[in-house]
Amino acid sequence: MEKRIYVGNLSYNSTEEDLEAMFQQAGNVVSCQLMLDKFTSRSRGFAFVEMETVEEANAAVEMFNDKPLDGRDLRVNIAKPREERAPRREGGGGGGGGRGRY
């Protein structure tokens, strides 16, 4: 079973520290990753929290799904394993080039 939890519908004001403190009520938090926009460094509205045991992860889902944090009802569930994706192609993706003269 999975010990990693998806936490969605987060306020843009939520911090990793807020999440970690909240989830410690359900057990030992191994890691907490708030996903940030790479251009603005603002929260993207979701995070992943890893608990020490499967039982703690399940307890956290039960405790916090649909519970408010910073004025928003959280979506909390067991994270799905990351799927393998094909590697991205390098380059601009189009052919083309200059305008030819005739």
Mean pLDDT of 75-100: 74
d(CA 24, CA 87): 37
- What does CATH list as the number for 4-78? 3.30.70.330
- Does residue 100 surpass a pLDDT of 80? no
How do residues 1-40 score in pLDDT, each as one tens digit? 689 999 999 998 889 999 999 999 999 999 999 999 999 8
The helix or strand, by DSSP H or E, that contains position 78, with its residue range, turns out to be: strand 75-78
Mean pLDDT of 67-73: 93
- Ranges of each domain in the chain: 4-78
Q: Are 65 and 22 in contact (CB under 8 A)?
A: no
